[in-house]
Amino acid sequence: MARHLLQTSRAQSIGELSRALEDKETMKRLVGLGSVLGVALALAPAAHASLVLQSLVPLTGTGLGTEPTILTIQNSPTETGCVSFSNLGATGFSASGACTGSSADVKTGASQTSTQPLSAIGTGGINASNFGVVFNADQPAGGGITLTSLNVSFYTSTGTLLFQSGAVSCTAAGLTNCAFPTTVSGIGGAGYLFKLDAAQQAAATAAGVFNTQTTIVGLSASTSNASGGPETFFLARVPGISSVPEPASMLLMGAGLIGLALVRKRRSVN
């Protein structure tokens, strides 16, 4: 009887050890799968660019002169403009943060074009996660327009370049090539909100952009299919809008859920 109990106990221990080893091997395979996915995602193109459209629902403004308007451009059928700490120009910043090209499309009337400090966005402090740029296109009868580029540059209060954002993307909000089918009439009244993606938030923070609210913001932008205008860009605080998950994040989450399901199924069978 004692021998039988001992054999049964040994068998149970061996079975438990076998299941533990199988679970360990399963976890190893899942870790391996995660590594493969990590390498693939690192080599794949980014799911979105630096400044990302948050929603096709316009963010309401309070009008030109009351919003911290940073750039106003107007021409047809294309428009380009740039404002930096030191000058105006067309689309694009140099390596030192200065605007390049002609500023013929840039409007320089009252409250139309000027760099802005972070403090102009409002009280409460602006950081990487709540810094936003609003694109306010004023097209006839609310017609469409395509935003072909949008970049921001950040400077110290004495003009030293701290950080420049990369390209713009609207795909996370379901818009291809930032081709807006409709716009909101009115200057400085309402527009579409863009914010820095996670990688750019981290990079800008590391560069010291948000260490002080005296940091100066410059902006460069261009459009096509324009027929009216002017188009304005103003700074804004990002409200509580949920981020659209990246395909990469959803893929990793899915792999993790599948892995947990496999482990639970194996345990239930055993």
pLDDT tens by residue, 63-78: 555 789 999 999 999 9
Query: First-to-last CA distance in the chain?
Result: 26
Secondary structure tally for the chain: helices H, strands E: 3, 14
One domain, residues 27 and 124 = no
**CA gap 230, 186 in Å, rounded:** 9
One domain, residues 123 and 193 = yes
pLDDT band at 185 (very low <50, low <70, confident <90, very high): confident
One domain, residues 22 and 88 = no
Q: Would you state the structure tokens that stand for residue 243, as one six-digit string?
A: 């981020």
pLDDT tens by residue, 186-211: 776 679 999 999 999 999 999 999 99
One domain, residues 217 and 116 = yes
The reported pLDDT for the residue numbered 64 is 58
One domain, residues 85 and 179 = yes
pLDDT band at 237 (very low <50, low <70, confident <90, very high): very high
**CA gap 97, 24 in Å, rounded:** 53
Above 90 in pLDDT, residue 127? Answer: yes
**What's the DSSP call for residue 177?**
G
Neighbours of 264 (CB within 10 A): 10
Report which of 170, 148, 159 is spatially closest to residue 217, judged by C-alpha positions. 159
Residue 77: cis peptide before it, omega within 30 degrees of 0:
yes
One domain, residues 76 and 186 = yes
One domain, residues 116 and 27 = no
The reported pLDDT for the residue numbered 225 is 96
pLDDT tens by residue, 75-101: 999 999 999 999 999 988 999 999 999
Strand-strand pairing, 79-83 and 216-224: antiparallel
One domain, residues 169 and 88 = yes
The reported pLDDT for the residue numbered 58 is 85
One domain, residues 36 and 73 = no
Given phi > 0 = left and psi -120 to 50 = alpha, else beta, which region is 65?
left
Q: Total structural domains in the chain?
A: 2
| Span 159-167, average pLDDT | 96
**CA gap 233, 191 in Å, rounded:** 9
Q: Can you give the residue range of the structural domain that contains 261?
A: 2-46+253-269
The reported pLDDT for the residue numbered 23 is 52
Q: Is 221 helix (H, G, I), strand (E, B) or coil?
A: strand
Q: What is the 3-state secondary structure (H, E, C) of 33-68?
A: HHHHHHHHHHHCCCCCCCEEECCCCCEECCCECCEC
The reported pLDDT for the residue numbered 59 is 79
Report which of 88, 86, 79 is spatially closest to residue 149, judged by C-alpha positions. 79
Q: What percent of the chain has pLDDT over 90?
A: 55
**What's the DSSP call for residue 215?**
-
The reported pLDDT for the residue numbered 156 is 98
**CA gap 216, 154 in Å, rounded:** 6
**What's the DSSP call for residue 243?**
P
pLDDT tens by residue, 17-30: 345 435 555 445 53
One domain, residues 178 and 263 = no
- Better-scored residue on pLDDT, 16 or 69: 69
Angle, in degrees to the nearest 10, between helices 2-43 and 247-269: 170
Neighbours of 56 (CB within 10 A): 13
Those residues with Cβ within 8 angstroms of residue 66's Cβ, 6 or more apart along the chain or in another chain: 188
One domain, residues 224 and 136 = yes
Report which of 225, 219, 226, 183 is spatially closest to residue 72, judged by C-alpha positions. 219
CA-based torsion, 39, 257, 172, 199: positive or negative: negative
**CA gap 153, 220 in Å, rounded:** 8
| Span 152-180, average pLDDT | 96
pLDDT band at 35 (very low <50, low <70, confident <90, very high): very low
The reported pLDDT for the residue numbered 187 is 74
One domain, residues 62 and 8 = no
